[in-house]
Amino acid sequence: MTAPASLPVSLADYERLAEARLSAGAWAYFAGGAADEITARWNREAFDRTALLPRVLAGGAGGSTALTLFGRAVAHPILVAPVAYQKLADPAGECATAAAAEAQDAEMVLSTQASVTLEDAARAGATCRWFQLYVLPSRAATLALVRRAENAGYAVLVVTVDAPINGVRNREHRAGFKLPPGIAAENLRGLEASDSTPLAEGESAIFDRFMTAAPTWDDLAWLISETKLPVVVKGILAPDDAVRAIEAGAAGVIVSNHGGRTLDTAVASLDALPAVAEAAAGRVPLLLDGGIRRGTDVLKALALGASAVLVGRPIVHGLAVSGAFGVAHVLRLLRDEFEAAMALTGCCTLADIDRSRIWTRS
């Protein structure tokens, strides 16, 4: 039986439909990257130029995509990445995404800047148990968020470290993007205190205002000491930074360039992964985000050193097209494609996926 012509059959189909359904401002926010969006493009191109090496006559029983991450049994290595303000795509926002993630056995990371509360998201989906955290200028405010996440049953903290300031997002500027009434970072209500003091003559907004309040390695060590939850550091590209995060007590590292939304011309996540994996030397799980659009991409990331991947923009595309159903279908498509890729490269379980599945020129 073939699918109806109107039913999306790939993540690219969902992307085209989502662009037509979202407002110009919302599309600029979700789809855009920093500056000329070169890094966002490189994230995709890195997967396109990485070739798989099929292996044959590898049939047999016992196939599985299961793994364990930070003490949690996980059905497959495709996670929902933290994406802010999902009510821009659907009125139910992150609650719809959480319900869909649970239906597809996918672990979900909720953004600090979610447009629903972390408590509501946790109630909406049992697999929404990872909370993404920005270290706020006030340690008391940061700790208040951590305690809320702990009390709501979140099992993993994901600390994003690669965005002490926003990237230069020209696409958003051209679209005049602003959050519409009724959509806000619900988890930050009452916690954010912006400094409205005018800059003195000669002062830099970046160096004399934003970076003076930006988090440091000391803040990461403090945070790790303040919670019993595993702390995963998101936004690492340099091997030395990965080693330093591990030495500070991080339980895991996410190799990420923020979807190309902060520093343009930063290295693609997949290109950075092998060196980070070598430096980490198996001490903690590595995850990767940025550019995942096919199940073959998942296999490539795992072959180059990742334990799992996170998917962001395609989740929003599914949400914009068909709400929770669209998110669930996006996740199902990726998982089905990933299992097919495993079968065709001779991989029965995730343990079989290694660099021998990547073709290299002799």
Q: Which pLDDT score, from 0 to 100, does residue 210 have?
A: 60
pLDDT at 194 over 50: yes
Nearest CA to 145 out of 178, 114, 176, 182 is that of 114
pLDDT at 193 over 80: no
Phi-psi region of 191 (alpha: psi -120 to 50; beta: other; left: phi over 0): alpha
Q: Stretch 55-64: mean pLDDT, rounded? A: 93
**Global confidence as pTM:** 0.95
Q: Residue 6: pLDDT band by 50, 70, 90 thresholds?
A: confident
Polymer length of the chain: 362
pLDDT at 362 over 80: no
pLDDT at 164 over 90: no
Rounded to 5°, angle at Cα 73 from 329 and 322: 15
Q: Stretch 229-251: mean pLDDT, rounded? A: 98
The residue annotated as part of the active site, out of 76, 173, 258, 317, is: 258
Q: Residue 206: pLDDT band by 50, 70, 90 thresholds?
A: low
SS3 73: strand
Q: Which pLDDT score, from 0 to 100, does residue 198 have?
A: 73
SS3 275: helix
As a whole number of angstroms, the distance between CA 116 and CA 92 comes to 8
Q: Delimit the domains of the chain by residue range.
A: 11-180+207-348
pLDDT at 144 over 70: yes
pLDDT at 190 over 90: no
As a whole number of angstroms, the distance between CA 154 and CA 125 comes to 11
Share of the chain above pLDDT 90, in %: 88
pLDDT at 301 over 80: yes
- Per-residue pLDDT reduced to its tens digit, 326-338: 999 999 999 999 9
CATH number for the domain running over 11-180+207-348: 3.20.20.70
- Per-residue pLDDT reduced to its tens digit, 14-46: 999 999 999 999 999 999 999 999 999 999 999
pLDDT at 244 over 50: yes
pLDDT at 250 over 70: yes
Q: What is the DSSP string of 101-166?
A: HHHTT--EEEPTT-SS-HHHHHHH-TTEEEEEEPPPSSHHHHHHHHHHHHHTT--EEEEE-S-SS-
List Cβ neighbours of 341 (8 Å cut-off, separation of 6 or more): 52, 295, 296, 298, 299
Q: Which pLDDT score, from 0 to 100, does residue 3 have?
A: 45
Residue type, 247: E
Is residue 173 among the annotated active site residues? no
Q: How far is CA 8 from the centre of its chain?
A: 23
Q: Which pLDDT score, from 0 to 100, does residue 165 have?
A: 84
Arithmetic mean of pLDDT over the chain:
94
Q: Stretch 164-190: mean pLDDT, rounded? A: 94
Q: Residue 208: pLDDT band by 50, 70, 90 thresholds?
A: low
Q: Stretch 343-358: mean pLDDT, rounded? A: 98
- Per-residue pLDDT reduced to its tens digit, 267-294: 999 999 999 999 999 999 999 999 999 9
- Per-residue pLDDT reduced to its tens digit, 88-131: 999 999 999 999 999 999 999 999 999 999 999 999 999 999 99
